[in-house]
Structures are given as C-alpha cells and as structure tokens.
C-alpha cells in the first residue's frame, strides 16, 4: 500500500476511535470498577444496571463499567482471569468453585426472598407435559456452566426435578445463555422440550406464545417443595486476592449498591422501570409488572441474612448430595455489606 495512503487510513481510524476512548476514560479522581453480570436484561441483575443509570456510582467518586456474560459462571471466570473486579452470580456455585481450588468470595447479596425462576414447557407440548415427572427422558435447556462448576439455574432445576422423582441423569441438558435471544431461539427451534429461566424471560416466553409455565418457583406453594429455597440466590462476588489488594473498590461498590437497593424499595415500580437504561416501552411495563408481583425479589439493603446463609447450606446439600462442600458462611466477607438476623 502507498505509504501516504496508509498514514491517511491510520489517521482516519484514530479519529473514529477518539470518541470511544474519551468515553472510556475515567474522570479526575474516579475509580473504575468493572463488573460482569448475566444478560442483558435479566431481571435478577437489574440493580447493577441501575447504578450507572442513576449516577449512584458517580456519587461515591467511581464509575461502574457493566459487561454482560452468557452465565454467572462465565462472569466469575472472567474475574478469575483478571478481566473484571466483580461478578454477579448464583451464590450456590461458589462452594463448588472453591472445591476446585478457585479463589472466590461473596461480598454482598443481591437477591431477596422471592426466586424469579420458572420451568417453561414448549407451547406445543403443554398437553402432554403436565407435571415435572413427565419430563423424564426429555431435553431441558438452561444456562450452561463450565468444567469448573454448574450454574445456579442448573442446581435449582436439578433440585426441583429430584423433589419430583426425576434424577439428573434422566433428562438431557441443553446449554443456553441468560438472555432473551438465546432462550427464545431455543424455544423457536424446538431443540429443548422445556427451559429453566429467570424473569423477565419466562413471562416473555408465555406472552410470546412460545411456552407455558409448568412450575413457578415464586409461588410459595411450589417453593415449599424445594429444600432450602430461601437461600442466597444471587450475590456480588470477587477474588480474595482483590479483597486484599483493593478493599477501597469494594467499599465504594457496597455503598453504591446499598444506595440502589434502598432506592428500589422506596420507589414505585413504574418509576424504577423508567430508569432501566435499555429496552422498549413494552419491556419497561413488563419490568414494572414483575416488580409489583415480586416486591421481595431484591435484597432490601445489601446485607447478608443469617437465616438465608443457613438455608444456603440446606439447598447445597439437596442440589449437590454427592459433594462435601465448604459451609456457605466461609465464602462470605461481610465487612462492607454487613449482616442482619
């Protein structure tokens, strides 16, 4: 290539990149905190999306950079690789990761008392699959883990199946990501017979006439069938190495998260939904309706609940009966979030 032409192209590319680089640079004195979450638009992780949308990160002199991953396991593995500071994921996966020598610890809960998880059967199979036991020999899609761990949704599904007489080896597992494109694509393709997913994707699958609800774990009558369901579902996690090296980041994050959780509790669902950074008007209405239906979906203040910690061990024994796992409390560092009875 002509040298002059090469220099012109290089200059043009540099000019195109300048606005992106400028937006990526922190302001004076700002601490950049990078967090991975499943998504996009997975309701259990909504508070994380709201932090920068409401400028609650700037209030404490930080900037929260949010990245989406196919699952919580992928999110924490990216943290372990040194590419992010924090990850939001199912707390129950941490003891399994720890058993495999992974350096993980939870610093704050994200979820509250209501599990927004549902088992959705394909619409065309609804007449033949009427109960969980009918899923023996069928294909179940849910978010995938890795060689190091199962995802939380895999654990929840297996616990639900076991409670209904279906062993983990009596179904076939199909991996999906925790986002609408992946879940809807699976249902449209008819590759799985059912999917296990979280809101808003389960409600959206029903509204789109792709599936029907077989089991809704947010229903207290159903939840009573699953041992330890009042466990810590989702939590903010990091590595012990980062806890030791950069505790100031974790203190800043705990402050912005608590501010957001308290704001959600004191704000009408319609107003919360209006601050969601992405989505259509219909999707915001969907979020508002789900927040009205599940007022306890999120932690009220980001503190660890002592009863929920105990319930987590019960859930883990039911989900992973063949593994001897470290107690949940040993994988919690509550110095920033705190605890409550």
Whichever domain contains 263, its CATH number is 3.40.190.10
Provide the mean pLDDT of the chain: 89
Tell me which DSSP letter residue 332 carries.
B
Share of the chain above pLDDT 70, in %: 90
Query: DSSP 3-state assignment of 298?
Result: strand
Tell me which DSSP letter residue 151 carries.
-
User: Does 324 fall in a domain?
Assistant: yes
Domain extent at residue 173: 117-223
Residues 255 and 271 both lie in one domain: yes
Backbone angles phi, psi at 278, to 5 degrees: -135, 160
Query: Does residue 144 surpass a pLDDT of 80?
Result: no
Residues 77 and 159 both lie in one domain: no
Q: At which of 223, 242, 269 does a domain end?
A: 223
Backbone angles phi, psi at 115, to 5 degrees: -85, 115
Q: At which of 223, 241, 269 does a domain end?
A: 223
Token pair for 222: 């159903």
User: Does 4 fall in a domain?
Assistant: no
Cα–Cα distance, 111 to 54 (Å, whole number): 20
Task: Say what the pLDDT of residue 24 is.
Answer: 35
Residues 94 and 241 both lie in one domain: yes
Peptide bond into 40 cis (omega under 30): yes
For residues 2-25, average pLDDT:
34
User: Does 55 fall in a domain?
Assistant: yes
Residues 134 and 276 both lie in one domain: no
Query: Does residue 8 surpass a pLDDT of 80?
Result: no
Count other C-beta atoms under 10 Å from residue 43's C-beta: 21
For residues 25-42, average pLDDT:
83
Residues 135 and 104 both lie in one domain: no
Residues 243 and 157 both lie in one domain: no
Cα–Cα distance, 92 to 80 (Å, whole number): 17
Residue (of 110, 96, 106, 211) closest to 149 by Cα position? 96
Residues 101-134 have pLDDT tens digits of 999 999 999 999 999 999 999 999 999 999 999 9
User: Does 18 fall in a domain?
Assistant: no
Confidence of residue 148 (pLDDT cuts 50, 70, 90): low
Q: At which of 223, 252, 277 does a domain end?
A: 223
| Distant-in-sequence, close-in-space partners of 247: CB < 8 Å, separation ≥ 6 | none
b (16+ CB within 10 A) / e for 121-160: bbeebeeebeebebbeebbbbbbbbeebbbbbbbbbbbbb
Residues 300 and 265 both lie in one domain: yes
Token pair for 214: 């077989």
Residues 237 and 206 both lie in one domain: no
Q: State how many domains the chain has.
A: 2
Cα–Cα distance, 14 to 114 (Å, whole number): 49
Query: Does residue 20 surpass a pLDDT of 80?
Result: no
Residues 326 and 249 both lie in one domain: yes
C-alpha angle 170-173-176 in degrees, rounded to nearest 5 = 160
Residues 139 and 208 both lie in one domain: yes
Query: DSSP 3-state assignment of 167?
Result: coil
For residues 59-74, average pLDDT:
96
Share of the chain above pLDDT 90, in %: 77
User: Does 320 fall in a domain?
Assistant: yes
Residues 218-274 have pLDDT tens digits of 988 887 778 888 899 999 999 999 999 999 999 999 999 999 999 999 999 999 999
Residues 210 and 64 both lie in one domain: no
Query: Does residue 5 surpass a pLDDT of 50?
Result: no
Task: Say what the pLDDT of residue 150 is.
Answer: 78
Token pair for 236: 């903010």
- Contact call for residues 207 and 187 (beta carbons, < 8 A): no
For residues 269-295, average pLDDT:
94
Q: Where are the beta strands (DSSP E) in the chain?
A: 31-38, 62-69, 86-90, 105-109, 117-122, 139-143, 172-176, 194-198, 211-216, 234-238, 304-305, 339-340
Residues 105 and 237 both lie in one domain: yes
Query: Does residue 146 surpass a pLDDT of 70?
Result: no
User: Does 291 fall in a domain?
Assistant: yes
Cα–Cα distance, 44 to 232 (Å, whole number): 12
User: Does 57 fall in a domain?
Assistant: yes
Query: Does residue 36 surpass a pLDDT of 50?
Result: yes
User: Does 16 fall in a domain?
Assistant: no
């Amino acid at each position: 290539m002509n040298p002059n032409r090469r220099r012109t192209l290089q200059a043009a590319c540099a000019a195109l990149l300048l606005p992106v680089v400028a937006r990526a640079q922190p302001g004076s004195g700002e601490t950049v905190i990078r967090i991975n979450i499943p998504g996009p638009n997975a309701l259990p992780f909504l508070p994380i999306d709201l932090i920068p949308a409401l400028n609650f990160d700037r209030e404490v002199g930080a900037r929260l950079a949010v990245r989406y991953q196919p699952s919580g396991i992928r999110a924490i593995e990216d943290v372990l690789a040194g590419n992010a500071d924090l990850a939001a994921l199912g707390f129950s996966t941490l003891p399994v990761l720890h058993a495999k020598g992974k350096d993980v610890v939870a610093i704050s809960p994200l979820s509250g008392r209501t599990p927004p998880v549902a088992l959705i059967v394909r619409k065309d199979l609804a007449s033949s699959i009427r109960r969980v036991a009918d899923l023996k020999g069928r294909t179940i899609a849910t978010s995938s883990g890795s060689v190091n761990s199962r995802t939380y949704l895999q654990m929840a599904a297996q616990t639900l199946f076991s409670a209904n007489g279906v062993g983990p080896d009596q179904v076939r597992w199909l991996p999906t990501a925790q986002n609408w494109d992946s879940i809807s694509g699976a249902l449209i393709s008819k590759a799985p017979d059912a999917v296990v997913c979280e809101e808003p994707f389960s409600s959206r699958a029903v509204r789109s006439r792709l599936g029907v609800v077989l089991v809704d774990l947010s229903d207290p009558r159903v939840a009573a069938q699953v041992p330890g369901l009042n466990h810590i579902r989702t939590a903010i996690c990091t590595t012990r190495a980062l806890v030791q090296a950069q505790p100031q980041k974790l203190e800043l994050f705990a402050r912005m998260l608590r501010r957001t959780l308290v704001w959600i509790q004191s704000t009408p669902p319609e107003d919360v939904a209006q601050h969601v950074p992405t989505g259509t008007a219909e999707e915001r209405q969907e979020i508002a309706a789900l927040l009205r239906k599940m007022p306890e979906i999120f932690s009220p203040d980001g503190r660890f609940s002592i009863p929920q910690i105990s319930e987590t061990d019960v859930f883990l024994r039911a989900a992973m009966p063949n593994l001897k796992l470290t107690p949940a409390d040993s994988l919690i560092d509550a110095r920033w979030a705190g605890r409550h009875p």
